Every structure is written in C-alpha cells, then in structure tokens.
Amino acid sequence: MKEQSARKKIVFWLRVSGWLCLLPAAAWLYLFRIMIGHQYLFLIEVFLIVIFAVYILTTADSERWQKPDNIFKLMMFAIIFVSVIDFFTLWFAYNASRKLNNH
C-alpha cells in the first residue's frame, strides 16, 4: 500500500513539474518579445524548456522515475537549464522515490 502511494506521489510531482515549465517558458517568450538583438537565444531556451516539459509529461508513468538517480539527473538539468521552480517540485519526487526504494 505504501509503495502504491509513493508511486502516485512521484507521478504527481513529475506532472506538476512538467506543467510548471510553462512559467519559465512564458518568461523567455516575454523577453523574446521585448528584446531587439540576439532573439534566437531566447527561442533556443524556450525550445529546450518545451522539450523538457514534454519529456517529463510523457514519461511520468514510466518505471525509470522510481530510481532516485534518474530523478536526480533530471533535477540537475532543471536547475541549470530550466528553473528553480521545477527543481523544487522534482525534489519532492526525488524524496518520494528514495522512500520507495528504502522500503
């Protein structure tokens, strides 16, 4: 029963993280709109965030996210390239994954 609950928590936090990617993507689109030079850098960042969000949302039910090492790699990518908001939601999924693997 606890394993089922931990798996649901992992999936929930992964989906929240995927949907919260809309916030930094919207911020980068706003910067794209107001900046005059080097606009392609903003579009590259938006593209990267969208691919990251799609990847998380489509693979949230996968068994690979029940291993803490995989979520940790995702967390590091999120804090470097996406946003701190996604890092914190992935941290909750990481904690649930560690609890699942400790029992």
User: What are the pLDDT digits (tens) for 13-37?
Assistant: 999 998 988 888 888 888 877 877 6
100 compared with 51, residue with greater pLDDT: 51
**What is residue 54's predicted lDDT score, i.e. its pLDDT?**
93
- 0.85 exceeded by pTM: no
Cβ–Cβ contacts within 10 Å for residue 12, how many?
Answer: 15
Q: Are 72 and 3 contacting, i.e. CB atoms less than 8 angstroms apart? A: no
- Pure H helices in 1-103: 2-20, 22-34, 39-58, 68-77, 84-102
Confidence of residue 46 (pLDDT cuts 50, 70, 90): confident
Buried b (16+ CB within 10 A) or exposed e, 34-64: eeeeeeeebeebbebbeebbeebeeebeeee
> Residue 68 corresponds to which tokens in the numbers above?
């803490």
Counted residue by residue, the chain has a size of: 103
pLDDT of residue 92: 92
Question: What pLDDT shows up at residue 15?
Answer: 92
pLDDT tens, 63-99? 888 888 999 999 999 998 888 888 899 999 998 888 8
